Chain A
Amino acid sequence: MNLIEDLTTNPGITRALPEAITDTLLMVSVSGLFTLAIGLPLGIFLYTSAPGGLRPMPVTNRIVSDIIVNITRSIPFAILMISLIPLARVITGSSIGPLAACVSLTIGTVPFFARLVETALRDVNSGKIDAALVMGSTRMQIVSKVLVPEALPGLVAALTTTLVTLVGYSAMAGLTGGGGLGQLAYNYGFQRFDTLVMLVTIVLMVILVQAIQWIGDGVSRRVDHRSAATAGRKARRHEPKAAV
C-alpha cells in the first residue's frame, strides 16, 4: 500500500522521527524532574507560610504568590520561552537543543505545579495535623509524615497534569529550536507541507499524553487508601471480630 510505503521511505519519518521522539522524552523527563524538585518544596512553602499555616510568613508568602501568578497567568509560555533564551545559554551553554529548552520549560511549569501541590496539601484534614502536633512532631515531621503521605494521591495527580502540560509546552519549545516532535511537525508538516509527518506526530503526541495520564491515574489509585474500595485491593479485607 502507498501509506505503508510512505511510512517506510519518508525521510521525515525514518530519519528525523526517532531523534524527535527522544528529544521530546528528554525534554519532558528532565524538566519534569526539575519541576518536581523545585515545585514540590515551593508548593509546601506556599502552604505552610500562608496565614494560619504551620509557620505563617504573610509577607514572603504574598510576594512568592504574586510572582507565581504573574508567571503563569500574565506571560504566555511562548513569550516566556523566548525571553529566557539568554538564561538558557548561561545555564546550558547553548540556546538551542532540548536541554536548553528544559530551562524555560522548568521555569514555566514550576509555578503551575507548585500551585497544584498547594491545593493538594490543603485537602489534608487539619485534624490530622493537630493530631501530629499533639504527638510532639516538629514542622519537618509534619511535612514528611503527614502532609506529603496524606496528600500523595493528589500530588501524583498534580504531577500527571504537569507532565501532560509539559508535553504541550515541549512542542512549543520546538518552534524556537528545542527539537522534538513539535519541531518535526513544524519543519516537515508546516514548512514542507508533509501531511504524513504531521499526522504521525499528532498520533504520537496523543499516545504519549494518554500513556502519561494512564500511568499517573494508576499510581494515584495505588497510593490512595482513603476509601475502602481502593484500599481493599492491596490488603485483605478485615472482618470485624469481637471488637467494634
Chain B
Amino acid sequence: MITVSDLRKVYRQGSREIVALDGVSLQVPKGSIHGIVGHSGAGKSTLVRCLTLLDAPTSGTVSINGAELSSAHDADLRAARRRIGMIFQHANLMDSRTAAQNVAHPLEIVRTPKNSIRAKAAELLKLVGLEGFEDAYPSQLSGGQKQRVGIARALASDPDVLLCDEPTSALDPKTTEEILVLIKELTERLQLTVLVITHEMHVIKRICDSVSLLEGGRVVEHGPLREVAADLGSNLSRTLLPLPAAEPLGTGVVLEILFSGDSASAPILSTAARKFDLDLNVLAGSVESLADVQFGHLRIQLPEGADPEPVVGYLRGQGVSVKVAGKEAA
C-alpha cells in the first residue's frame, strides 16, 4: 500500500518560487492499480521524482507499507527504494549489459549469489515473455522488448510497489496494448500495488482501478474509475467518455445523458421515445466498458417544441444522469 500525504514541492528560481506540487495526497491499496493523469506541466514528473525521493519533497510524506521514505537517509533510503520497482518511459536499460544482466542489476547491488541471480533473471525474462533473449543487448531489442526487460528488472527485487512513469508513452498502439496487458497480469499474479503516471487516458481506461487528475500540482478529481466515470460533467468523466463535437440540428432541447451498469443494457432511450411519443435524435455518443462496467455517454436532441421536463424526470427515475445542455431558443 502506498500512502502519500500532503506532498509539496517548491522550486526556487532566483527570488521566484515555483510550486510544482501543492499538497498532493493519495492512497493506493494493495493489489490495485492507481492512475495519475495530467497534462504536461501538471506536476507528474515532479511527483514521480518525489515519490522515489530522487528529489526531496519540500514537505509531506511518502510511505510504502507503513515505512516512511521521506524521512529516511542513506542506507535506510536505499533499503526502502528496494521495495519499489520502477518502469520508465524509455526503459533506461544499461546499454553495456545484456537483457539478463540488466535484470540482474538490482540483485547484484544487494550481493545476491551469482547462481541464484542467473536463475532469477532467466525466470523473470520468461515471466515477461522474453525467453531466449537473455544474451541480447538492448540495442538489438525493439521498444516493446526493452520495456519488457525494464519490467523484469523492476520486479527483480520482489518489490511491493510498482511505479510506472509513462510506461507506454514511447510505444506504438499495438505494443502499448501488450505492455498494459502484461502490467495488469503481473499485478494480479504478484499482488503488486501499482501507481501509473501517464498523460494517456487510454492507459487509465485499460488497466486502472482508480484514478487521480493532477492539475497545477493539485489532485483536482480522484476516485475509483467507475465512480469518476459516472460523475456526469466532471473533467475525468468527460475525458474518459469523450463526445465528439456535433452541431445540434434545429432548435430542439439538447440533453447530455450518462448511464452505467444495468441501465446501460436496458433499452431506456427507445422506451422513453415510445412513452412520450417523441423522435429522439442521437447527436453523439460513446459507449465503453470501464473497470468491467458498461458506460454510455450520449448527447441527444428532443424534437422542436417538445417539453424536456417529463423526459428528464423519467430518465433520472431510471438511474440515468441527465444534463440539459442547451435551452430551446425563444
Partner of A228, one of B82, B86, B88, B140: B140
Chain A residues within an 8 Å CB radius of B260: none
Given contacts A128-B92, A135-B106, A152-B96, contact A244 B139 (CB under 8 A): no
CB closest chain-B residue, reference A146: B94
How many residues of A are in contact with the other chain, CB < 8 A? 35
Contact A141 B109 (CB under 8 A): yes
- Distance from A48 Cβ to chain B, minimum over Cβ atoms (Å): 16
What per-residue 1/0 map shows which CB atoms of B109-123 lie under 8 Å from chain A? 110000000000000
Contact A235 B130 (CB under 8 A): no
User: Does chain B have a CB within 8 A of A137?
Assistant: yes
Contact B108 A145 (CB under 8 A): yes
State in angstroms the CA–CA spacing of A241 and B129 once bound together: 10
Chain A residues within an 8 Å CB radius of B109: 132, 135-138, 141, 145
CB closest chain-A residue, reference B75: A138
State in angstroms the CA–CA spacing of A242 and B144 once bound together: 12
Chain A residues within an 8 Å CB radius of B92: 125, 127-128, 130-131
CB closest chain-B residue, reference A142: B109
- Distance from A164 Cβ to chain B, minimum over Cβ atoms (Å): 25
User: Does chain B have a CB within 8 A of A50?
Assistant: no
User: Does chain B have a CB within 8 A of A223?
Assistant: yes
Chain B residues within an 8 Å CB radius of A242: 129
Dominant SS at the B interface? loop
How many residues of B are in contact with the other chain, CB < 8 A? 45
What per-residue 1/0 map shows which CB atoms of B124-157 lie under 8 Å from chain A? 0000111011011111111011001000010001
State in angstroms the CA–CA spacing of A236 and B90 once bound together: 24
- Distance from B204 Cβ to chain A, minimum over Cβ atoms (Å): 22
State in angstroms the CA–CA spacing of A160 and B175 once bound together: 42
Contact A138 B78 (CB under 8 A): yes
CB closest chain-A residue, reference B99: A238
User: Does chain A have a CB within 8 A of B84?
Assistant: yes
What per-residue 1/0 map shows which CB atoms of B67-97 lie under 8 Å from chain A? 0000000000011111010101010111111
Which A residues form the contact surface with B (CB < 8 A)?
125, 127-128, 130-138, 141, 145-146, 149-150, 152, 223, 225-228, 230-232, 235-238, 240-244
10 interchain pairs, CB-CB under 8 A: A130-B88, A135-B106, A136-B110, A138-B78, A141-B109, A145-B94, A241-B132, A243-B128, A244-B144, A244-B178
Closest 6 CB pairs of A and B: A136-B78, A243-B129, A127-B92, A244-B144, A136-B82, A131-B92
